[in-house]
Amino acid sequence: MKKVEAIIRPEKVTVVKDALADAGFVGLNVVSVTGRGAQKGVVHTGRSGQHVVIDMLAKAKVELVVRDEDTEQVCQVIIDTARTGEIGDGKIFISTVEDVIRVRTGERGESAI
Amino acid sequence: MKKVEAIIRPEKVTVVKDALADAGFVGLNVVSVTGRGAQKGVVHTGRSGQHVVIDMLAKAKVELVVRDEDTEQVCQVIIDTARTGEIGDGKIFISTVEDVIRVRTGERGESAI
Amino acid sequence: MKKVEAIIRPEKVTVVKDALADAGFVGLNVVSVTGRGAQKGVVHTGRSGQHVVIDMLAKAKVELVVRDEDTEQVCQVIIDTARTGEIGDGKIFISTVEDVIRVRTGERGESAI
Amino acid sequence: MDTGNTAWLLVCSALVLLMTPGLGLFYGGLARAKNAAATIMHSFMTIGIVGVVWVLWGYSLAFGPDVGGFIGDLSLFGLAGVTSPEDQIFMVFQGMFAIITPALVTGAFAERMKFSAFVIFIVLWVTIVYTPVAHWVWAEGGWLLELGALDFAGGTVVHINSGVAALAAAIIFGRRLGYDREPMEPHNVPMVVLGAALLWFGWFGFNAGSALAADATAVNAFVVTNTAACAGVLGWVAMSWIFGKPSVIGAASGAVAGLVAITPAAGFVGAMPAILIGLVAGVLCFIAPMLLGKLKVDDSLAVWGVHGIGGTWGALATGLFVGVGYGALAEGVDRMTQVMYQLIGIGVTWVWAFVMTAIILFAIKATIGLRVSDAEEQTGLDISQHDEPAYRFTQ
Amino acid sequence: MDTGNTAWLLVCSALVLLMTPGLGLFYGGLARAKNAAATIMHSFMTIGIVGVVWVLWGYSLAFGPDVGGFIGDLSLFGLAGVTSPEDQIFMVFQGMFAIITPALVTGAFAERMKFSAFVIFIVLWVTIVYTPVAHWVWAEGGWLLELGALDFAGGTVVHINSGVAALAAAIIFGRRLGYDREPMEPHNVPMVVLGAALLWFGWFGFNAGSALAADATAVNAFVVTNTAACAGVLGWVAMSWIFGKPSVIGAASGAVAGLVAITPAAGFVGAMPAILIGLVAGVLCFIAPMLLGKLKVDDSLAVWGVHGIGGTWGALATGLFVGVGYGALAEGVDRMTQVMYQLIGIGVTWVWAFVMTAIILFAIKATIGLRVSDAEEQTGLDISQHDEPAYRFTQ
Amino acid sequence: MDTGNTAWLLVCSALVLLMTPGLGLFYGGLARAKNAAATIMHSFMTIGIVGVVWVLWGYSLAFGPDVGGFIGDLSLFGLAGVTSPEDQIFMVFQGMFAIITPALVTGAFAERMKFSAFVIFIVLWVTIVYTPVAHWVWAEGGWLLELGALDFAGGTVVHINSGVAALAAAIIFGRRLGYDREPMEPHNVPMVVLGAALLWFGWFGFNAGSALAADATAVNAFVVTNTAACAGVLGWVAMSWIFGKPSVIGAASGAVAGLVAITPAAGFVGAMPAILIGLVAGVLCFIAPMLLGKLKVDDSLAVWGVHGIGGTWGALATGLFVGVGYGALAEGVDRMTQVMYQLIGIGVTWVWAFVMTAIILFAIKATIGLRVSDAEEQTGLDISQHDEPAYRFTQ
Ligand SMILES: Nc1ncnc2c1ncn2[C@@H]1O[C@H](COP(=O)(O)OP(=O)(O)O)[C@@H](O)[C@H]1O
Ligand SMILES: Nc1ncnc2c1ncn2[C@@H]1O[C@H](COP(=O)(O)OP(=O)(O)O)[C@@H](O)[C@H]1O
Ligand SMILES: Nc1ncnc2c1ncn2[C@@H]1O[C@H](COP(=O)(O)OP(=O)(O)O)[C@@H](O)[C@H]1O
């Protein structure tokens, strides 16, 4: 099984999660993170006059574990819904998960996803 | 070494972390997440009258890195303490960690856990 | 590619992220977590008189995905900047990431980092 | 001038001023976190705008020499001739009412209005919609006053006026993105309760101050105001309990509902009717927003339900209970006639507020537009309109 | 009726009303986030319940025609005959005291009480426990008044009464789950300070208003109230510094401690004794909860420590310092006798509050039960009792 | 003593007391989350410290029998002889001004001052810097009063004094770690607005109360205070809009700027000049901090920009507009002379506040030190100084 971690714009979470549900991927988690990337951040003028570059921006990390064969589709759904074309759209990281356990039943493996 | 990520009910964090400590697994992290799963969420009536299905529920993710041979035991402890039998109990994900470094000492590998 | 997850003291985030940027590692995420480890936590006296051991302390998790060959350097930068020598400095976990996708462009692999 | 009355009216004016930031917190807490600052800004900015508009032309239009019973003239522009302490106190006290009324309306289009459009709306609304109604009801020669309709502290002028304007706004703005799909729950319950508490506290100035003296009427108004608010809490909490669990937001909202309903009656009824008025208000104002929800009209913060319906009930109840426990029917006016007068006042205000507000909003919509873009709405108004997230806990 | 006094007492009544939501924020901030809304609800709901109970039968029981020096009769039920402005003001002012007293008790069982049980408790407690003590101390014919015990603004009636009731409650409820194992730290320090600030602000009405006129006594009460509060801040902060670091929560709590202690003395002492009374209160009220903690009694928000002990110290200090800087011992009463009277008042109130509260709580425990289930307690009362998390920052 | 005036002044004193916690919330919300509690503590602790200092020696130094027009003697130590209600009211009302002035200064060194140093600073500053200026301007025989400089409610004593002291502090403390590198944005916008609202509310007591009676001057002061505050909102928001987006923090700050500027003029000008004074204040106080920022001076919460510059503008404007719409130039004083007097008052206060504050700070720096360690600053003052994080949402 694969774990798909997508770092996206916070305002995109709703569309992404709904699209995933429609595509049959219900289970997932969202964590709020602050991220830094090519998108170098915006310059702010504080009330006390100083100018600062805010390089850490609020992002959301959508995490879900899926069957190997579903990985591509999941990524595609995320890309389609999270992309704006502007710098700051984010990244998707894919890694291997060896086992999944459903706490409620103790089931293991794919059936537990 | 393995990384055990358990998504559980927030109100279960205390019992789980205490049980883990008693079993000798002290080191761990907890992150608050919002999760969606088979547990389809509850219907709310907003103050302004609209009805909505809240599909994202507050969950807690307990993360810890353990020696390969301890993985089973750790999962068992979590299952025993986090299970309610109701939908929404959560999942445990197990993946491989190649190396661990203790920042303070620079030690590596299992001894750093 | 490798994913480097460093659990560090919250007050160290700024120095660490700046040092990483200077070393050429711009992209990263920070998540706030509460962690428990050898550092057994502090004893507090609540206003209503009870004494409690607070074992969960606020920590920050810095996550970044890097090219395999950069892993060592990244870890070194983190250790150099995050270490205080006191218990509670935290840990670094290294694991494998199979693929990375840049949402904006759809690029994959190292070029997407 | 009597020092006791002066002290009293100045304090009451300060109390009513405090209500508007209180309202901002009440509304801000009901909004989602990404719109919290912008929602509070609506109330706070309204103070700034109307505070200046009022001294320039607002007061003159509302309370200047009567023109056909309909509106005042502009002879008091810039407070020309408003020099006696008596006039100045009345002016500033009334100004606080002019400030909170448009602020109440803002709850209807919270979480989706463009800030520039908001500024224009406030200036137009207080000038075109508010000042005439204030004139009709409270100014010498105002036709509703002449007619004999009773409104002690602003049930029609403030609450029906803003509540019905809110209904028009909710319809014209359309629903928020994700309405009926995403949760849009209050983001900060303590803030809602704090706001309600400041409203309650300020309402003593609003109602008891409307006696315009520290006299027996002020005392009675004070007592019934507090009693109705308490009853409103019980009414709404009971309803929320019947439909689910006893709601904290409901307790706060119920207090406001009770306060709204007692407003027009505060100088005309005693404590026992006040309990009834408050209880019924708590129940009605709980039901009304649900019905509106069924029609899929998105009155974001239930302004119509609480102020429109609560104000209407209060204006009607004033006719039904005037003289019970306090006050009396006017010479030679029987209760039926009084109720009739009340219904006329209610009806006229409903029509006026709805039509005029609609005209203003359509005008703005046709020119600079009312709503932010979808992307801006999804991002939240705090960032998109003000570049200031309400909270930065991790920094 | 004098307009100055009317204005003053109406304002003071409004100030005291504001204290209860202020208390809600104070308590709510001290609670954990998962119980914040529910804790605030305890205070806010108490306003609604007692506000209605008071006008129906509470006022009559407390201040109706005396029955054997022990309680009033029911002849003023529904405010029958309470028509003169003087009576109405006194009624509503006293009503605010009746509202905050049971609200103070709620801090003892915060984070674990079942809401339905809470509602019943408040109705019973204010009726059975509060009204008699109010009668003894303040009503014509009340036996403690006759005896000569001094309580200017409610040291016994409000603070000892609620503080000792809190002790009984803490014992009967038992500890919160995880007490002594999990941290149960205040979740929102700014909210605690805001609550304390509103309490301080309202306390001017509470103490200075108890002069029942805008006179020299009111002025003195105002001065000593502020002075004692400041001294209380210094006392508690100093203690917290000695035992660790200077505490912000401690500054807020110290202010409350000082205000509690000066309450019975406000009309009888000058500013210098006020400093002493406040300082000592800050120290005692810091120590008391720690001692109770040693006994493993879980008085969640330290109500007994602050109001029970602070109120007791204040009542005693009133006897010790009456006449120093302001006021005087009553004709032909020497200080020893006065202190004796104070001790009688203290002792009787302690026993009464403890026993009667225990009876009420056992009765509820035996019927519908007092505590939520363990699962509900772990989840937090906001969700389990009200279905409303206090905060939704990510939505 | 007239009950109306007594009631009025007691209420005003309570209102001014409330301003300082309000300031704490205003400053606390502007600070970063990790310093929120500590920043609020600065204001709250100042109440405790100055509240006691004032009754002990502060009042005597400021208003005791004049010594050479420069300061009062110590004959009123411990309020000896301050027994008449008139004296007591004046004492406590003035005490509230003495409390808020040093609290205003704390915004300059927020997020980096050592708490122990803070306590010493407040005691010294209020004694050495504040009491003399208060004496010059308001006490019988005070030389600025004799000269004829006008300061109705504290433009020089409170605002220039604290604002310029803040400038000295900002320079001597040096910048916060990460200034110009990390964002140091307000962490809680609703808290900032709430603080500003409480300040506005309290300011009615501050300005209108300075008439020391419930009379025509109080009424005028009330009206212009509200008007200038509203204009200040418009001024600052407009500027922020021109330079970016309309700012919510700006609306709150603009209100404060307008209130600061109208303070010295409140008893001497009418509503039209008030609009101008407020508008200009909103603009100036927006620009000033930016200029200071260019010099890389870190006045953390813009105290100099708002109170120093706003107060200076107000003191000047008082000379420019006295008599326009209200009041009049003193007998035989032409406007030029009056403006001259104002400039003298301004200049002297600037020099005095800057020099004396610098001396105090250097003394503390040389002994126990002013700043926390870098590690403590990075961790945040809440934890490092008080062991109390402002928020614990996950517990
Ligand atoms: N190497 C990385 N490791 C982890 N997260 C990253 C990395 N690079 C970027 N991110 C995350 O992706 C977000 C968007 O990246 P950015 O480079 O700004 O935009 P884009 O992906 O469109 O080039 C960043 O804010 C950060 O949260
Ligand atoms: N495929 C998945 N990937 C990641 N997290 C998941 C996945 N499925 C479920 N979860 C997490 O587990 C939680 C509980 O899952 P759910 O299906 O509701 O209950 P159960 O596991 O008892 O069937 C969800 O709220 C979500 O946080
Ligand atoms: N086995 C583990 N798995 C995950 N996180 C851990 C583990 N052990 C420690 N941590 C994290 O590292 C932090 C510091 O660890 P600790 O043992 O206290 O200090 P040190 O690493 O210096 O010995 C902990 O607070 C926790 O967040």
Q: Which residue of E89, E222, E259, E279 to mutate against F (max F Cβ within 10 Å)?
A: E222
Task: Give the whole-angstrom CA distance, residue E304 versus residue E257.
Answer: 11
Residue with tokens 């310092």: E321
Cα D288 to Cα D254: distance, rounded to the nearest angstrom: 13
pLDDT digit string (tens) for A15-73?
Answer: 899 999 999 999 999 998 989 887 665 565 666 565 666 677 889 999 999 999 999 99
Task: Report the 10 Å Cβ neighbour count for F246.
Answer: 24
Q: Which residue has the higher pLDDT, D332 or C58?
A: D332
Distance CA B96, CA D212 (A): 77
Q: Which long-range contacts (CB under 8 A, 24 or more apart) does E135-140 make?
A: E135/E61, E135/E62, E135/E63, E135/E66, E135/E70, E135/E71, E135/E72, E136/E69, E136/E70, E136/E348, E137/E345, E138/E62, E138/E63, E138/E94, E139/E62, E139/E63, E139/E66, E139/E72, E140/E66
Q: Do C11 and F394 touch (CB under 8 A)?
A: no
In the DSSP assignment, the letter for residue F371 is: B
Chains near E (3 or more Cβ pairs under 8 Å): B, C, D, F
**Closest-CA residue in chain B for E376?**
B11
Cα–Cα distance for residue pair D381/E8, rounded to 1 Å:
43
Confidence of residue C82 (pLDDT cuts 50, 70, 90): very high
Q: Give F76's pLDDT tier (boundaries 50, 70, 90).
A: very high
Q: Which chains touch F (3 or more CB pairs under 8 A)?
A: A, C, D, E
Nearest-CA residue for atom 8 of ligand 3: B27
D219 contact E CB<8A:
yes
Per-residue tokens: E388? 């409303």
**Which residues in E299-337 are b (16+ Cβ under 10 Å) and which e?**
bbbbbbbbbbbbbbbbbbbbbbbbebbbbebeeebeeee
User: What proportion of chain E, given as a percentage, has pLDDT over 90?
Assistant: 96
E272 has pLDDT over 70: yes
Please state, in angstroms and rounded to a whole number, the distance separating the CA atoms of residues F143 and F364: 30
**Nearest CA to CA, how far is E75 from chain C (Å)?**
43
Q: How far is the CA of A27 from the centre of ligand 2 (A)?
A: 5
What confidence score (pLDDT) does residue C55 get?
74
What mean pLDDT is predicted for residues F312-327?
Answer: 97
What local confidence, expressed as pLDDT, does residue C58 receive? 83
CA atoms within 13 A on the CB side of D294: 4
Asked whether C40 lines ligand 3 (CB < 6 A), one says no
Burial class (CB in 10 A: 0-12, 13-18, 19+), D178: middle
CA of C112 to the centre of ligand 1 (A): 9
B53 pLDDT higher than 60:
yes
Any chain D CB within 8 A of the CB of A110? no
**12-31 of B, contacting C, C-beta below 8 A:** 17, 21, 26-31
Residue closest via CA to ligand 2's atom 14 equals: B90
Q: Which residue has the higher pLDDT, F307 or C42?
A: F307
Residues from chain C contacting residue B94 (CB–CB below 8 Å) = none
Q: Say which of C48, C49, C54 has its CB closest to residue E183.
A: C54
Residue with tokens 């927006």: F286
The enclosing H or E element of A16 equals helix A13-22
Q: Ligand 2 in contact with B13 (CB < 6 A)? A: no
Span D79-104, pLDDT tens digits: 999 999 999 999 999 999 999 999 99
Model pLDDT for residues F118-177, shown as the tens digit of each residue: 999 999 999 999 999 999 999 999 999 999 999 999 999 999 999 999 999 999 999 999
Please judge whether E215 and F382 are an interchain contact, meaning their C-beta atoms are less than 8 angstroms apart.
Answer: no
Q: Could you say which of D41, D194, D393 has the minimum Cβ distance to residue F248?
A: D41
Q: How many Å separate Cα E382 from the centre of its chain? A: 24
More confident residue, E253 or D178: E253
What does the angle CA F338 – CA F340 – CA F341 come to, to the nearest 5 degrees? Answer: 65
Adjacent-strand bridge partners of C62: C6, C30
ipTM of the complex: 0.93
Q: Give the residue from D124, D143, D123 showing the smallest Cα distance to D133.
A: D143
Whole-Å CA distances, D338 to D135, D150, D262, F149:
20, 8, 17, 59
Distance of CA C62 to the CA centre of its chain: 3
Mean pLDDT of B64-92: 94
Instruction: Name which of E188, E190, E213 is nearest F3 (Cβ-Cβ).
Output: E213
Residue from B50, B51, B54 whose CB has the most chain D CBs within 10 Å, to mutate: B50
CA angle E1, E2, E5 (to 5 degrees): 115
- Report the DSSP beta bridge partners of residue F371: F113
Which of F 12-31 lie inside 8 A of E, CB atoms?
13-14, 17-18, 21-22, 24-25, 28
B53 phi, psi to nearest 5 deg: -95, 120
Ligand 1 atom closest to Cα of A88?
19
Tell me if B29 sits within 8 A of C93, measured CB to CB.
Answer: no
Which residue is it, tokens 């003195």? E220
Average pLDDT over all residues of chain D: 96
Considering only alpha carbons, which residue of chain B is nearest residue D288? B49
The pLDDT assigned to E1 comes to: 79
Amino acid letter for position E358: A
Cβ of residue C113 lying under 6 Å from some atom of ligand 1: yes
Q: What is the mean pLDDT of residues E225-246?
A: 97
Are A6 and C95 inside 8 Å of each other by CB? Answer: no
What are the chain E neighbours of C50 within 8 Å (beta carbons)? 179-180, 184, 293, 296, 298
Q: Does the beta-carbon distance from C44 to E30 stay under 8 Å?
A: no
Measured in residues, chain C has a length of: 113
Contact F380 C14 (CB under 8 A): no
Closest alpha carbon within chain B to C84 = B104
The pLDDT score that the predictor gives to residue E394 is 78
Indicate if ligand 1 lies below 6 Å from the C-beta of A88.
Answer: yes
What was the pLDDT predicted at A48? 57
Which of A28, A68, A73 to mutate to test ligand 2, by most ligand atoms within 8 A of the CB atom?
Answer: A28
Both tokens assigned to D229: 């608010």
Alpha carbon of B28 to ligand 3 centroid (Å): 6
Residues of chain F with pLDDT > 70, as a percent, come to 100
Over residues F206-231, the mean pLDDT reads 98
Considering the entire predicted model, what is its pTM?
0.94
pLDDT for the residue F348 = 98
User: Which tens digits make up the pLDDT trace of D229-278?
Assistant: 999 999 999 999 999 999 999 999 999 999 999 999 999 999 999 999 99
Q: Which of A3-17, A51-65, E222-236 has the lowest mean pLDDT?
A: A51-65
pLDDT tens for E115-130 read 999 999 999 999 999 9
What is the pLDDT, as a whole number, of residue D183?
Answer: 81
Residue E229: the pLDDT is: 98
DSSP 8-state class, residue A109: G
pLDDT tens sequence across D127-164:
999 999 999 999 999 999 999 999 999 999 999 999 99
Q: Write the residue in C28, C97, C104 that is nearest to A87 by C-beta.
A: C104
Q: Check if the beta carbon of residue C2 is closer than 8 Å to that of residue C24.
A: no
The pLDDT assigned to B46 comes to: 61
Residue to mutate (ligand 3; options C4, C5, C7, C56; most atoms within 8 A of CB):
C7
CA distance D222 to D209: 9
For residue B79, give the ligand nearest its CA: 2
Percent of chain D residues topping a pLDDT of 90: 96
What is the average per-residue pLDDT within D15-22? 98
Nearest CA in chain C to E250: C47
Q: Among residues 167-186 of chain F, which lie with CB inside 8 Å of chain D?
A: 182-186
Measured from the CA of B64, which atom of ligand 3 is nearest? 3
Measured in whole angstroms, the distance separating CA E274 from the mean position of its chain's CA atoms is 19
CA-to-CA distance for D262 and D270, rounded, in angstroms?
11
Cβ neighbours for B86, distance < 8 A, ≥ 6 positions apart:
A104
Q: Tell me, letter by letter, the H, E, C secondary structure of E123-155.
A: HHHHHHHHHHHHHHHHCCCCHHHHHCCCCCCCH
**D227: which 2 tokens?**
């009693």
CA of A113 to the centre of ligand 2 (A): 7
Residue C39's pLDDT band (cuts 50, 70, 90): low
F347 near E CB under 8 A:
no
Longest dimension (CA), chain E: 69
Q: How many CB atoms lie within 10 A of CB B51?
A: 12
> Has residue C48 got a pLDDT over 90?
no
Contact F64, F54 (CB under 8 A): no
The DSSP output letter for E187 is S
The pLDDT value recorded for residue B49 is: 60
